[in-house]
Amino acid sequence: MVIPVKSEASSSVSEFVNPLSEPCVMVIFGASGDLTKRLLVPSLYNLACDDLLSPNFAVLGTGRSKLSNEAFRSSMASETTGLRAFHTRHEFDEVVSDELLARFYFESANIDVEDFTALKKTVQALDKKYQAGGNILFYFAMAPRFFGTLCENLHKAGFQEGIGWKRIIVEKPFGTNLQSALALNEEILQYWKEEQIYRVDHYLGKETVQNLLAFRFSNGMFEPLWNKHHIDNIQFNVCEAVDVQGRGGYYDQSGVLRDMMQNHMFQMLSYICMEPPGSFEADSIRNEKAKLLESVRIFADDEVPENVVRGQYGPAYDAHGDVVQSGYREEADVDPQSKTETFAAAKLHIDNLRWQGVPIYLRSGKALWKRSTEIVIEFKKPPETLFKGTGVQNLTSNRLVFHIQPFQGIDLLFQAKTPGPTMQLQGVDMSFNYGEAFKSSRYTGYEVMLYACSRGDATLFSRGDLVEAAWRIAQPLLDHWEVASAPEFPNYTRNSWGPKSAYELLEKDGRRWFEVVTPDVLEESPLFEGADPLLLSAVILALRPMTVAPGETIIRQGEVSTEMYFICRGEVDVLDLKGEIVNQLQDGQFFGEVALLLTTARTADVRAKTLCDLFVLSQNDFKRILRDHPQFAKKILQVAKDRYDLALSVNEFMTPRSDA
């Protein structure tokens, strides 16, 4: 298993010193592309800053452009499109950067045996100069259609010969369906051995994903609970706020199933659900991952619609119904009649002894109202009879939430008795926040992969059989969608929480998506923008879920209500004195914040336009939080003044209401 990159602050936890990456010449195909500048070079730079990069190391960039070594180095260093722009450290270190880039070279080459034979001579010269021991790391940062030819011609040019190891890192996507993945594996393995091939899935480079294994297997308390006897369901959310970002040509041939689920989400699924490996050796882990994916039920054609739903985003509109952002079908290089899914939700089944009967829900999409990747383990509820006759209405399940990104942490949600003479429960949280616990620099995720590959550790890379197993699960969905009539696309608006069908998928099982409100979501409200993380966490815990039927009034003009609302899913109309709609709010938006600060009559009606899932924060809970954390009260009053023009005194503001 890979040794994680050191944090910037020196670690007092362990005396263990990470060894250097192994000497090698790294040959990058497609070196003038985006991946090299944005991710590979910043990662090499991070390794160099952390003293993990071997001095016996050089980079040979190659591609069709004609570039001198100098021109290549300066484009990699550039302030706008190079390392100075894309590095992830707190401070930029000129010395390390200069020293690293001085080891960069470029040679123009076509993908043919003749040019590769010339390239081999350059690699040999660099090998000699840097004493790299004959080790060569090839990085394919090119379109997948070239992978086969690259493998063939590198082999024919004799790159396998001589001392030292030769390894190939292959970027995704690895195939576009089961058949093409099988064919690509066969083509590559005709010339190279499986142990020389390192297939990238950048999710495996994320610290929070690597931590899934550490969490499961280094904490003895969870393993006995990690099965169908104690876990009710597992939810994987990989939701993106971005749209296709100018990659319409690629995305329209792909869709979210190929782009996110079949690779990134299935990787996380296997980490969460696999059996404990015999050791942290690469193949020991990869064997368990493959076994797990092979246990996922392959759907028959008629099982697909009841277990999988899909969506495509349409435009975003303003309150007058005018388009403010275009929909997917209007994106550049996208077919105006496109049937490609930009959202999918699925219910998978793992047919093994550990997980039989535990539904595994996956949800992913683009142009959603927030970016958030998390995994929620929902435990079974205890029997409620014990609480009969007490003030406790119903119990909520314990949940373990892995926040993968952008917020990084782990929450364990449970219930505690609220102080007082009667038995009342309140949801509370044990929370671990990566940023607070480890003050390290941000990493790209690629440094750990480059480092691991140089050391011959394939744990973080996909093996051929794993990729094929993942495609086997996805293939019936692709086949079904190819011929079945698509739902009425577009079926969700931009910046919303996806199509209705995704909710129905769980509701028909009597379950709901567990919506995670993270501090960055709360900060969307002006009241909480820039607030202290402690305050934000306390507020998140005090949020109560509420469902409102279409047409129901949530806030009535003239009435005094003391709650703030947050729309998780749904749409509301805001109506003025004359009953005219003056605003429409939807997923991810807040309303009624002033009621947290001031007890006064409402100035507008707010009515649910669709079924709404809301989170509610009451003034009493808010004041309680501020009494518990008086250090934040002053700041909130300043915000009330600056953003809502409300001049309040601390005393008036903090006094609990008499009916509390």
Minimal distance in Å, beta carbon 93 to ligand BG6?
Answer: 25
Residue number, 259 or 515, with CB nearest to ligand BG6: 259
Residue number, 205 or 314, with CB nearest to ligand BG6: 205
264 among known catalytic residues: yes
- Tell which one of 259, 378, 447, 515 touches ligand BG6 (CB under 6 A): 259
Minimal distance in Å, beta carbon 245 to ligand BG6?
Answer: 8
Residue (of 259, 257, 265) closest to 245 by Cα position: 259
Residue (of 484, 504, 228) closest to 380 by Cα position: 228
Query: Taking CB under 6 A as the rule, does residue 341 contact ligand BG6?
Result: no
Amino acid at 483: V
Residue number, 240 or 571, with CB nearest to ligand BG6: 240
Long-range contacts made by residues 277-280, C-beta under 8 angstroms, separation at least 24? 277/217, 280/1, 280/213, 280/459
Minimal distance in Å, beta carbon 39 to ligand BG6?
Answer: 10
- Site residues for ligand BG6, 591-650, by CB under 6 A, read none
Cα separation of 374 and 283, whole Å?
Answer: 27
Q: Say if CB 300 and CB 20 are below 8 A apart.
A: no
Of 87, 155, 202, 264, the catalytic one is: 264
Q: How are strands ordered across the β-sheet holding 104-108?
A: 104-108, 57-63, 24-29, 136-140, 166-170, 197-200, 461-462
Cα separation of 272 and 439, whole Å?
Answer: 26
Query: Taking CB under 6 A as the rule, does residue 240 contact ligand BG6?
Result: yes
Residue number, 206 or 286, with CB nearest to ligand BG6: 206
Going by the DSSP 8-state scheme, the letter that residue 196 receives in this structure is G
- Interface characters, 55-84, with ligand BG6 (x: CB under 6 A): ------------------------------
Contacts of residue 248, defined as CB under 8 A and 6 or more positions apart, other chains included, come to: 331, 332, 333, 334
Query: Taking CB under 6 A as the rule, does residue 447 contact ligand BG6?
Result: no
At 656 the three-state DSSP class reads: coil
Q: Say if CB 430 and CB 235 are below 8 A apart.
A: no
Q: Kindly determine how many residues on this chain lie close enough to bind ligand BG6 according to the rule CB under 6 A.
A: 2
Residue (of 241, 320, 125) closest to 494 by Cα position: 241
Residue number, 259 or 341, with CB nearest to ligand BG6: 259
Minimal distance in Å, beta carbon 199 to ligand BG6?
Answer: 13
Residue number, 259 or 447, with CB nearest to ligand BG6: 259
Residue number, 63 or 255, with CB nearest to ligand BG6: 255
Minimal distance in Å, beta carbon 506 to ligand BG6?
Answer: 23
Q: How are strands ordered across the β-sheet holding 343-348?
A: 308-311, 343-348, 360-365, 231-239, 372-379, 399-405, 409-417, 425-433
DSSP string, 412-473: EEEEEEPSSSS--EEEEEEEEEHHHH--PPP--SHHHHHHHHHTT--TTEE-HHHHHHHHHH
Residue (of 591, 604, 600, 592) closest to 648 by Cα position: 600
Residue number, 119 or 181, with CB nearest to ligand BG6: 181
Residue (of 268, 172, 177) closest to 471 by Cα position: 177
Residue number, 263 or 287, with CB nearest to ligand BG6: 263
Q: Which residue is nearest to ligand BG6 (CB)?
A: 259
Minimal distance in Å, beta carbon 259 to ligand BG6?
Answer: 5
Minimal distance in Å, beta carbon 94 to ligand BG6?
Answer: 29
Residue (of 483, 486, 457, 482) closest to 343 by Cα position: 486
Minimal distance in Å, beta carbon 384 to ligand BG6?
Answer: 39
- Interface characters, 86-105, with ligand BG6 (x: CB under 6 A): --------------------
Minimal distance in Å, beta carbon 437 to ligand BG6?
Answer: 21
User: How far, CA to CA in Å, does 21 sit from each of 52, 165, 194, 275, 451?
Assistant: 6, 13, 21, 30, 6
Reduce the secondary structure of 346-399 to three states and give it as a string. Answer: EEECECCCCCCCCCEEEEEECCECCCEEEEEEEECCCCCHHHCCCCCCCCCCCE
Q: Active-site positions?
A: 264
Residue ranges binding ligand BG6 (CB under 6 A): 240, 259
